[in-house]
Structure formats: C-alpha cells, structure tokens
A and B are shown apart, each in its own frame.
Chain A
Amino acid sequence: MAGKIKRLLALGAVVLTTAALAWAGSDDQPKASGAPKPVITKAVKGEQCVEPNDFMRRNHMKVLLHHRDETVLEGIRTKKYSLKECINCHASEKTGSVAASKDDFCVSCHSYAAVKIDCFDCHSTKPQGSMAMHPLNAETAHYAHKLAAQANSKISAEEMAGIAQ
C-alpha cells in the first residue's frame, strides 16, 4: 500500500515538473489537453529582461509595486522596473499593445493564471510613439480633439492674432 502511494506521488511529481517545464519553455507552445497554455511572445525590442525570466515570472508584481510608489510619490523615474519600459519592449508587433488582444504579453499569462490586472484602466498599453495603426491610440487621440476643435472654432487664427496685438 505504502509503496503504491509512493509510486503515485512520484508520478504526480513527474507530471507537475513536466507541466512546469512546458510552461517555462516558452518557444515551443505546448498543445496539451486542458486549459490552453499562455502564449509568451519574445519581446520585440531587447535581448534580455532586466532580471532573469524565472525571477520576473514570479516577482514582476513586487518590483513594479515598489517602483510605482517611488515614481508617483517621489518622482524617481529610473527605467529599470518601470511599467513603461515593460510596455516598450513587450508590446506586440501585431496590436502594438501589451493588452489589446488575448495573446498580447500581459493578458496572455494573466488570463491563464486567472489574475485580473487593472494596470491598464489607467496606464496606456502602448509604447510612446506607438507602432499601432488604431486611430484612437494614445499618441493620436488628442489630434482628433484638436481637429474637431478647429472645425468648431468661430475665431480664425488671424482673428486670434489680432486679439493679441
């Protein structure tokens, strides 16, 4: 009996390890049965993350939290652990975003782990100088307002200049 349990446990350990390895090995996407595994796309820019992948997979939230408080409260804007830099490297080539479609970098793992992220309620999901073509990306949204404002304006630029003198 005890031997059987031991064997079962060993088998369980092997299965778990294989699953973990399969998940960690990002390049070949495992198509095992059960929940679809997250798609981990290689960062568009850069060769290596600011920390080893294993560390970042477990601890990115901790370093982000620490950096966020330093940035907001004290104005320290170093690049390491800055969410903006994560986005700069990891935005998908297809959507230009880390969270626009279900395979984008942040969303992919988070939906697999069933952890809701609310970073992007406030933060832009796209890098500065966006590569996205979407008309309402963070870089171009304000031009729409500007154009509409000019169209609505009753005062021409010349008149405005006249007022100034």
Chain B
Amino acid sequence: MNDMKSMSDNTPSSPERRRFISAATVTAAGVTLAPGVMLIDVAHGRPEEQAASSAVRWGMLVDATKCASGCDECVSACSTENGWTPVAESAHPKQAPQWIRKLELQDPLTQAETNLPMMCQHCEEPPCVDVCPTGASFKRADGIVLVNRHTCIGCRYCMMACPYKARSLVHEPLNDTQKPDVPRGIGCVESCTFCVQKVDRGDGTTACVEACTASGHNALVFGDMNDPESEISKRLRELPTKQVRADLNLNLGVRYHGI
C-alpha cells in the first residue's frame, strides 16, 4: 500500500504542466466537422446556451489513502456551497438532509482504518432513475444524476432504491434560506449534484474537491472521465481503483483508491 501511495505522490502535477496539457487539449478538441462547423471542446467552459453533452462524463476519484481521519472539510464545503444545514446543527439530525458523509471504517481482523467520503455515485445505470414513478430522477447527458424538483412528489422510492444511502428528503420548510444557485425545498428528495451549478459555470470542479485540495490532503480529483488527457483519467489509469458494490454493475462515476 505504501508503494501505491508514493507512486500516486509522484504523479506529475505541477500547475505549469497541467496548464500546458489543458491548453493542448483545447486546441486538439476543436474539431472541424464540416467547413464552417466546429465541434468545440465542451468539457471546459461550455457556453451557457449549449446543453450538457454526452461527450463528457463527469466523475470523481477518491484516494482513501490520503483522506484524513477527523477531517470533514469536504462535508462542510458541500453544506456551505449548497446551503444544507450540517447534521450536527439540525433540530432533527436523524432526518436531516445529507449530501455527503464522512465514513471511518475499521477492518475487524486487522484493525486497519479507512477514511472516505460517501455521496451519490452518479451511476451510469442509476437505480433511483429506474424506480422513480414521475421521471423526476434523471441522468443528465454528462452523467450527473439529479432530481427535478418540479416533478418530484416526495415518494422516496429512489431513497429506498439507492444502494449507497445517498439521498435525503427535505422534511421541513427552508424559509428562504436557500442559495440563489441551489433551489431546494420541502417534500423533495435531493442528493449530491456534483455541484452542477459550478460545473455549468465552467469551474470544472466541485466544492468538496476545492476544500480537500485547500486543506492539503488532495484526496479528491474531479474531472471528465471521457477525456483521456484529463487529470482524473490519468490518475485512474495509474491507480488501482474500485467501485463500491461493483457487483451491482452500475458503472459508477465515483471511484475509490485504497479501499
């Protein structure tokens, strides 16, 4: 495991190099389809009038060997970005919405501890979408699984169907405490959106990833898994990773290393 860790630490990731690579990608990604018709790189800085594209598949890599015990920077960053009350401060913690959770696992045989964040895995074959009676649960073209609150009836089928306990129902009125970019409301189910408001803005990252990187742990990488030159694709090529409950064959958008 230590070898693994040092290997991942050696990944060339100097900002200059990354900038050079992404510049190269942008040039390469502008493909001429026909005279005057260009297919422009959609992953980074998609114009606001352009729909999310299936050329992109957003995904996340969690390096559990770097995820620190006692740290919950990703969780509080999510709560701040998306406006949900941290569970500890909720009047009803057992039913409080939770978009991302920090898990600390211990192997009963070896006592080895593993730390990892758990959230919606943005399944390619999402069971939540299969069971939704209204079509409110849906997968966007770029692989982000969302709830359309305009059609969600709060039946909670999706909560039961999700193998990862990723979804929550909002039980109480939010009294206009929502963030302007993140509508949420009573009677609707919600879960991690991969910070879709940031993705659409062209940030190319999520609040949890920013916070983890800022805290110096660097356990999370977000990016386009369809782009072979993206940082996440490179790391996924180098590191052995697992999907949680891979036996379910859901082709997850979140991959874990070191579990």
A: which residues have CB within 8 A of B? 68-70, 72-79, 84, 87, 97, 100, 120-128, 136-139, 141-142, 145-146, 148-149, 152, 155, 159-161, 163-164
Contacts and interface: CB of A to CB of B under 8 A. Distances in A.
B183 A123 contact: yes
A74 B141 contact: yes
A77 B180 contact: no
A122 B88 contact: no
Nearest to B141: A74
A133 to B, nearest CB: 14
A142 B83 contact: yes
19 contacts: A72-B150, A74-B140, A75-B199, A76-B51, A97-B176, A120-B176, A121-B186, A123-B178, A136-B175, A138-B83, A138-B176, A141-B177, A142-B83, A146-B80, A149-B88, A155-B70, A160-B215, A163-B68, A164-B217
Q: Is the interface of B mostly helix, strand, loop or mixed?
A: loop
Contacts of B50: 76
Nearest to B170: A122
A68 B150 contact: yes
Interface residues of B, number: 48
Contact of B80 (A87, A142, A159): A142
B233 interface: no
Contacts of A139: 179
A162 B178 CA distance: 35
Pairs of residues from A and B, 8 with the lowest C-beta to C-beta distance, nearest first: A122-B185, A75-B52, A74-B51, A141-B177, A122-B183, A121-B185, A128-B180, A124-B180
B49 interface: yes
B184 A78 contact: no
Contacts of A152: 88-89
A161 B150 CA distance: 43
Given A76-B48, A121-B186, A164 B216 contact: yes
Nearest to B82: A142
